[in-house]
Amino acid sequence: MRQLVLELASAPAPTLDNFVAGDNAEVVAALRALAGGAQPERFIYLWGGSGSGRSHLLQATARALRERGCTVRLFDGRAAETGSDDACIADDVQQLDAAAQVALFNICNTLREGCGVLLAAGDRPPARLPLRPDLLTRLAWGLVYEVRALSEDDRRAALHDYAAARGFALPPEVADYLLARAPRDLSSLRALVDTLDRLSLQQKRAITVPLARELLQSLQPARP
């Protein structure tokens, strides 16, 4: 089972279409406008806790920008020329060290002067980030949104919808079992549903709580 899981458990690529908005419809609409070139504010900062989906939204928007032909930099903490970049994506800015903060500060200025786009995210609002004040000012130049985590009902509905799109019904007790014991982010949950479907087909077993239990146990680190 362990080898099978390693081969099959891959999350769908993040897109704005497969992000379950929940209470974040306004955030998704703003990012669609940004990716489509229809957003007057070119700087957007997202914040939210672990599992809220902010990283999904950054990756999805970067993908949408590239599909429109934009050049997108995924900020890696290093200083670099930005004149040829249309957009910069910076995730987990609360973790930036001093040098990386200077680099992002300079990129912000260059993008502002050159009509570029900045999409950044962190685990708290700009005013509470442990960053240099001039960078905080730039991160708050445009729109600031909190990305709210999905409710339990939203997560459950999302799992059922994902299973239905794959052509099978996810039993409610299996959905509840995964929600209680699996990682909370929706990408991981969808990957587990995908793997359960393939396991059930390969092993000719129904998707049940025992099968879900075996899958989760196989993902536990092997004991020495």
pLDDT > 50? residue 10: yes
Query: Of the candidates 108, 128, 126, 125, which has an alpha carbon nearest to the alpha carbon of residue 116?
Result: 108
For 101-134, the pLDDT digits (tens) are: 999 999 999 999 888 999 999 999 999 999 999 9
In a shared domain, residues 57 and 141? yes
Residue 17 within any structural domain of the chain: no
Q: Where are the beta strands (DSSP E) in the chain?
A: 43-47, 72-74, 87-90, 117-122, 143-146
Residue 88 within any structural domain of the chain: yes
Residue 64 within any structural domain of the chain: yes
Q: Check residue 23 and give left, alpha or beta (phi > 0: left; psi -120 to 50: alpha).
A: alpha
pLDDT > 50? residue 60: yes
Residue finishing a domain among 146, 170, 190: 146
What is the per-residue pLDDT for 89?
96
- Per the structure, how many domains does the chain have? 2
How many residues are recorded in the chain? 224
SS3 for 25? helix
In a shared domain, residues 31 and 110? yes
In a shared domain, residues 173 and 211? yes
Query: Of the candidates 134, 73, 126, which has an alpha carbon nearest to the alpha carbon of residue 98?
Result: 134
In a shared domain, residues 59 and 131? yes
Average pLDDT, the chain: 89
Backbone Cα Rg of the chain: 20
Residue finishing a domain among 101, 117, 146: 146
Q: What is the CATH number of the domain that holds 92?
A: 3.40.50.300
Query: Of the candidates 126, 134, 127, 74, which has an alpha carbon nearest to the alpha carbon of residue 102?
Result: 134
Range of the domain at 57: 25-146
In a shared domain, residues 48 and 141? yes
Residue finishing a domain among 146, 167, 195: 146
In a shared domain, residues 100 and 113? yes
For 159-210, the pLDDT digits (tens) are: 999 999 889 999 999 999 999 998 888 888 888 999 999 889 989 999 999 9
Residue-wise burial string across 9-46, b where 16 or more C-beta atoms lie within 10 A, e elsewhere: bebeebebebbbbbebeebbebbbebbeeebeebbbbb
Report the alpha-carbon distance of residue 117 to residue 8 in Å, rounded: 36
What is the per-residue pLDDT for 220?
75
**Sequence-separated (6 or more) residues with CB below 8 Å from residue 210:** none
